[in-house]
A and B are shown apart, each in its own frame.
Chain A
Amino acid sequence: MKRYILVRLLKSIVSIFLVVSIVTLMLFTLIPRMNIFEKDGAYKKLNGDAKTSYVYTKLDELGYLDFVRQSEMCALASDVTACNNNDADQIAEVTKLYEEKGYNVKTMLNGTLYGYYDYKPFEILWNYFSKVIVVDNPDFVKNTYGVELENTGYYFGLDYNNIPALMCNGSQYKYQIYFDASFPFIHQNIIHFNFGKSYPTKAGMNTLDVIGFGQGELKSKDVTFETGQTFKSPVNLHTAKYKVSLDGLDSKKFNDNYADCDSYYQAPSMVNMSYLMGIISIIITYGLAIPAGILMSRKKDKLADKIGLVYINILNSIPSLAFIFFMRQIGLMIGLPASFPQLGYFDIRSYIMPILILGLMSTPSLMTWTRRYMLDQANSDYVKFAKAKGLSEKEVFNKHILKNAIIPIVNGIPASIILCISGAFITESAFSVPGMGKMLPDSIKLLNNNMVITLVFIFTTLSVLSVFAGDLLMTVVDPRIQLTSKKGE
């Protein structure tokens, strides 16, 4: 069992890696790289050398190529000053040097030299993956900012709420492991994922922060800082990061250089938004569809079954968009908003229709399957035998039919719970819900490569894990299934 889980996890990691690699390569090599500037306002305003410089800086940032300016190139020249002063011999020397390394060396309109090296596919992948996992360490400040701190290392201390936390001096984050009131209550800052920066939308922000940070207005409250002063501030002190130079306000609040904090926002993040809606809609789906499917199977060919089949057929045959707009219209008639931003995050009425629609849209298939599994079991030999044993219909149903019929349904539950993170594109678009659903199509449209990779990684990982979780859950409900890896597999 343990061995199986280990092998399976290993296989999962390999498959996730493969998927992300393929997507990364496709994005970086198959899409003309100049296309990414189409949606960039700054690019359009620039001209001449400024534009060239901007383009290569961005491409360098995004991992397409390595961009070198004249000053950098001249550092390798035998006479650095002469090279910087455009001495023809020196220029020719560094040009040759860089061209040998595979760089394209060119001159700008004003005569300055620049060069770029197009990464090969393998290098793109390597550069990308080598930076994905960032482990915080006590030497972070020294290695990144070149600042020597005293007393670097881990220590146990109390946070600003006087709750014990594992802290560290010299690392990027002050709080390495800490507790707070939000799920899952224990949090860490030791390992972070870095999927690069979002571009061209939300430029400069880490892709994970784009989907993970709260939205809307900052949420301020009275915070007592380390210095004992109380300010109205939205900061989340647990996210304190090292800041090289403090401004006046920072030094009023903080005793040390860990002054760079994330903020609390009024509205939930995209992920939380989709997840919240998804979870409630799943509860609706399962809450309605399983009892309905069971009822249909028990009253097969009777009125209840026929009504259920009509419902299933109607919902299956109506295009989902039509269903959404139909429901939205009904919502309007009873005073619910037609789109989410009308009443916003804090009005429960904004949520009712999207959640109800999401919940209802998946009922037909679950009802069909539940009914079908129930009927399959009801016609099986052991159910007949159980009946012949003299058990009452209720006993046969509870002990024999239901338990068996529920097994394949149980298998799908983790997937539906975990995958609601990915959001629901059509419903969220129809109601303009700021959730995850629109992120993937939007980022593909805008050629936000890093965002696409991030989302692909997240969705792939969650899919693989949820299938895995479903299989593990099966072993709990079905004694026949045992997870073992046999030799020779």
Chain B
Amino acid sequence: MGEKNIILSVKDLEVKFQVRERVLTAIRNISYDFEEGKVVAIVGESGSGKSVFTKTFTGMLEVNGTISKGEIWFEGKNLVEKTKDSEWEEIRGKKIAMVFQDPMSSLNPILTIGDQISEVIIKHRGLSKEEAKAEAISLMERVGIPNAANRYDEYPFQYSGGMRQRIVIAIALACRPRILICDEPTTALDVTIQAQIIRLIKELSAEFGFTTIYITHDLGVVANVADVVAVMYGGQIIEYGNVEEIFYDSRHPYTWGLLSSLPQLGTKGDDLFAIRGTPPSLFEEIKGDAFALRSQYAMQIDFEEEPPFFKVSDTHYAKTWLLDPRAPKVEQPEAIRGLHERLMASTSKGGGYSGK
């Protein structure tokens, strides 16, 4: 593999939150390089730190959260050094944009759609009001709002959920950002709209040439859009690799668990697979592998020492002692073997695994 074009590089990042006199470590030493132009999906269960991780790229951590360690390199600058909101204005919305989960509440209910799009354009690109309006209308058309000129002066409540998410995307793209972070962009939408929005983001990323970071727990979406998948657990990335590698050749027991619990894999009448136990408390220091307590493959070492990343291929790494040469050889669980074929089969029956 040749020189990778890294757009955003995270080094040894640690994020702590002050919660009622106690300290919670939400992100534990993540190092990760985002490649330009790729679609990266960050997956993991609730509380694994997916959102917090991406919030650090735009300085949007809640007031009680701080980056206690690490570096985030973007365009030759270390973003961690930015402390004031005014310093962030250069990045937020302009270079790195975000799309939030719930389009119903992402838009200000009492400002017109047009105002909300053009305010970004005026702010970041210094266009006049008229120019911004023309630009906003063309953006609205681009994201698929019919009759955009007339709908410019309407309010969010006059738009459907899918339409609103299109507007949110238009706002996010108004300044031609280099990175678009989509925080579960389709969770609040129904399935058909989900597919439309995902397709739209995909088309736009080709057209505008931005790098997309998806945060999701919907593996269907991941399979559909991602080039690269990073699996997060307990505030760490525990496995990452190309989408095929994660789906068909995953190595971490947590990734196995995650894939086994795909509802599409369930047989009618049987209980769906669920990962037993609960995620570790991030208030306490975690010793060894964070997933050890819930893993049926846990070894003695998992409770004593944190595993390093083991290389599976040039693009695929996993943070589990199972990959240590000394570990006993463990096969992928039955449930996810031949995943591709079975998913394809379920698709023909009308499942949610919509083909690319």
Residues of chain A at the chain B interface (Cβ within 8 Å)? 380-382, 384-393, 395, 399-400, 403-404, 407, 477-480
In contact, B58 and A479 (Cβ under 8 angstroms):
no
The DSSP consensus for interface residues of chain A is: helix
In contact, A384 and B93 (Cβ under 8 angstroms):
no
Most chain A CB atoms below 10 A, which of B60, B93, B112 = B93
In contact, B98 and A386 (Cβ under 8 angstroms):
no
User: Given contacts A381-B100, A385-B168, is CB(A391)–CB(B119) below 8 Å?
Assistant: yes
Among residues of B, the one whose C-beta sits closest to the C-beta of A388 is B98
Answer yes or no: B108 CB below 8 A from chain A CBs.
yes
Known: A390-B89, A390-B120, A395-B123. 7 other contacts (CB 8 A): A381-B100, A382-B105, A385-B100, A388-B97, A389-B93, A389-B119, A480-B109
In contact, A480 and B93 (Cβ under 8 angstroms):
no
In contact, A387 and B108 (Cβ under 8 angstroms):
no
Task: Specify which chain B residues have a CB less than 8 angstroms from the CB of A385 in the assembled complex.
Answer: 98, 100, 106-107, 168, 171
Most chain B CB atoms below 10 A, which of A386, A389, A391 = A389
In contact, A480 and B110 (Cβ under 8 angstroms):
yes
Among residues of B, the one whose C-beta sits closest to the C-beta of A477 is B110
User: Given contacts A390-B124, A391-B123, A392-B85, is CB(A382)–CB(B92) below 8 Å?
Assistant: no
In contact, B105 and A388 (Cβ under 8 angstroms):
no
Task: Specify which chain A residues have a CB less than 8 angstroms from the CB of B306 in the assembled complex.
Answer: none
**Chain A to chain B: the 3 pairs with minimum beta-carbon distance, closest first:** A390-B93, A381-B105, A390-B92
Most chain A CB atoms below 10 A, which of B100, B106, B112 = B106
Beta-carbon contacts of B155-199 to A below 8 Å, as 1s and 0s? 101000000000010011001000000000000000000000000
User: Which positions 23-61 of chain B face chain A at CB distance < 8 Å?
Assistant: 58, 60
Answer yes or no: B102 CB below 8 A from chain A CBs.
yes
Task: Specify which chain A residues have a CB less than 8 angstroms from the CB of B301 in the assembled complex.
Answer: none
Complex Cα spacing A384 to B90, Å:
17
User: Which positions 108-152 of chain B face chain A at CB distance < 8 Å?
Assistant: 108-112, 119-120, 123-124
Complex Cα spacing A399 to B108, Å:
9
User: Given contacts A385-B98, A387-B60, A388-B60, is CB(A407)–CB(B110) below 8 Å?
Assistant: yes
Task: Specify which chain B residues have a CB less than 8 angstroms from the CB of A393 in the assembled complex.
Answer: 85
Complex Cα spacing A444 to B112, Å:
53
Q: Can you list 11 A-B contacts (CB < 8 A)?
A: A385-B100, A385-B171, A387-B92, A389-B120, A390-B88, A390-B89, A390-B90, A390-B93, A404-B108, A478-B110, A480-B157
In whole Å, how far is B186's beta carbon from the nearest beta carbon of chain A? 16
**Contact among B97, B100, B155 with A384 in the assembled complex (CB-CB below 8 Å):** B100
**Contact among A387, A390, A392, A479 with B110 in the assembled complex (CB-CB below 8 Å):** A479
In contact, A403 and B110 (Cβ under 8 angstroms):
yes
User: Given contacts A388-B98, A480-B157, is CB(A382)–CB(B108) below 8 Å?
Assistant: yes
Task: Specify which chain A residues have a CB less than 8 angstroms from the CB of B251 in the assembled complex.
Answer: none
Complex Cα spacing A310 to B62, Å:
26
In whole Å, how far is A367's beta carbon from the nearest beta carbon of chain B? 22
User: Which positions 217-267 of chain B face chain A at CB distance < 8 Å?
Assistant: none
Answer yes or no: B91 CB below 8 A from chain A CBs.
yes
Task: Specify which chain A residues have a CB less than 8 angstroms from the CB of B119 in the assembled complex.
Answer: 389, 391, 395, 399
In whole Å, how far is B120's beta carbon from the nearest beta carbon of chain A? 5
Task: Specify which chain A residues have a CB less than 8 angstroms from the CB of B83 in the assembled complex.
Answer: none
Answer yes or no: B316 CB below 8 A from chain A CBs.
no
Beta-carbon contacts of B78-97 to A below 8 Å, as 1s and 0s? 00000001101111111001
**Contact among A382, A392, A403, A404 with B106 in the assembled complex (CB-CB below 8 Å):** A382
Complex Cα spacing A407 to B108, Å:
13
In contact, A400 and B108 (Cβ under 8 angstroms):
yes
In contact, A390 and B168 (Cβ under 8 angstroms):
no
Residues of chain B at the chain A interface (Cβ within 8 Å)? 58, 60, 85-86, 88-94, 97-98, 100, 102, 105-112, 119-120, 123-124, 155, 157, 168, 171-172, 175
In contact, A381 and B102 (Cβ under 8 angstroms):
yes
In whole Å, how far is A312's beta carbon from the nearest beta carbon of chain B? 22
Complex Cα spacing A107 to B155, Å:
79
Complex Cα spacing A381 to B98, Å:
12
Complex Cα spacing A392 to B119, Å:
12
Complex Cα spacing A395 to B120, Å:
11
Among residues of B, the one whose C-beta sits closest to the C-beta of A480 is B157
Complex Cα spacing A384 to B111, Å:
15
User: Given contacts A382-B106, A384-B60, A400-B108, is CB(A390)–CB(B155) below 8 Å?
Assistant: no
Among residues of B, the one whose C-beta sits closest to the C-beta of A386 is B108
In whole Å, how far is B119's beta carbon from the nearest beta carbon of chain A? 7
In contact, A389 and B171 (Cβ under 8 angstroms):
yes
**Contact among A388, A391, A407, A480 with B58 in the assembled complex (CB-CB below 8 Å):** A388
Task: Specify which chain B residues have a CB less than 8 angstroms from the CB of A387 in the assembled complex.
Answer: 60, 92
Complex Cα spacing A130 to B112, Å:
51
Complex Cα spacing A387 to B120, Å:
11
Task: Specify which chain A residues have a CB less than 8 angstroms from the CB of B107 in the assembled complex.
Answer: 382, 385
Among residues of A, the one whose C-beta sits closest to the C-beta of B86 is A392
In contact, B92 and A388 (Cβ under 8 angstroms):
yes
Task: Specify which chain A residues have a CB less than 8 angstroms from the CB of B60 in the assembled complex.
Answer: 384, 387-388
Complex Cα spacing A272 to B73, Å:
68
In contact, B108 and A390 (Cβ under 8 angstroms):
no
In contact, B123 and A380 (Cβ under 8 angstroms):
no
User: Given contacts A388-B60, A390-B92, is CB(A382)–CB(B97) below 8 Å?
Assistant: no
Among residues of A, the one whose C-beta sits closest to the C-beta of B106 is A385
Task: Specify which chain B residues have a CB less than 8 angstroms from the CB of A478 in the assembled complex.
Answer: 109-110
Task: Specify which chain A residues have a CB less than 8 angstroms from the CB of B105 in the assembled complex.
Answer: 380-382
Most chain B CB atoms below 10 A, which of A391, A400, A477 = A391
Among residues of A, the one whose C-beta sits closest to the C-beta of B84 is A393
Among residues of A, the one whose C-beta sits closest to the C-beta of B168 is A385
Complex Cα spacing A232 to B93, Å:
76
Complex Cα spacing A387 to B123, Å:
12
In whole Å, how far is B116's beta carbon from the nearest beta carbon of chain A? 8
Complex Cα spacing A314 to B102, Å:
41
Complex Cα spacing A392 to B108, Å:
16
In contact, B100 and A390 (Cβ under 8 angstroms):
no
In whole Å, how far is B110's beta carbon from the nearest beta carbon of chain A? 6
Complex Cα spacing A391 to B112, Å:
17
Among residues of A, the one whose C-beta sits closest to the C-beta of B101 is A381
Task: Specify which chain B residues have a CB less than 8 angstroms from the CB of A381 in the assembled complex.
Answer: 100, 102, 105-106
